[in-house]
Homo-oligomer: A and B are copies of this chain.
């Protein structure tokens, strides 16, 4: 059984006992499954849908010709992405780990739904603007602290984070090299601010220390 099938099956098992988790959108579409690294859409592709993360995680990014990458957003369950001003995608979107995505065709989004969409778009805008401050005016340590706090808050203040994304992903999100990300995390660990129980896991020990750092 392939990994994503395993996940899919476990999702449905869980859904059978937790009806809220399986709540369907008004149009009744079922989520589509993507395994780790799978492309959801590519830059230049025609855009005609909106995407909502059901479970898993997504990275949305742009590439430069020389291979530099900027991840503009990580999307967690419940979050929506794929807004475009025209009919073409200007970004790549990939599943970071086994991920379920609910896809809504844009044709269903005319009329009333445009109004419902505005808050989601504004949410993305606020996130992007917050991110601008981090990239423009924060040191490496401040960026890492802000990232950990953001990820924690977006998971309801959870202190044990399963980040899913690699150091390369984090670096390309924060505008840092993987080595710098690793060094900052190590320094945080040495100071007892966080623990790194496993490769992709982070536990926040001194929350206030992180908040002080995030400035």
Contacts and interface: CB of A to CB of B under 8 A. Distances in A.
Contact of A135 (B65, B83, B135): B135
Contacts of A70: 132-133, 136-137
Interface stretch (A2-10, A92-100, A114-122, A199-207): A114-122
A38 to B, nearest CB: 22
Contacts of A23: none
Contacts of A115: 111, 114-115
Q: Considering the complex of A and B, which 7 residue pairs feature the smallest CB-CB distances, nearest first?
A: A136-B175, A128-B128, A135-B135, A114-B115, A70-B136, A70-B133, A68-B137
Interface of A: 62, 64-66, 68-70, 72, 83-85, 90-91, 111, 114-115, 117-119, 121-126, 128-129, 131-133, 135-137, 172-175, 215
16 contacts: A62-B133, A64-B133, A66-B215, A68-B137, A69-B137, A72-B129, A85-B119, A85-B122, A91-B129, A118-B118, A121-B121, A125-B128, A128-B132, A132-B135, A135-B135, A136-B173
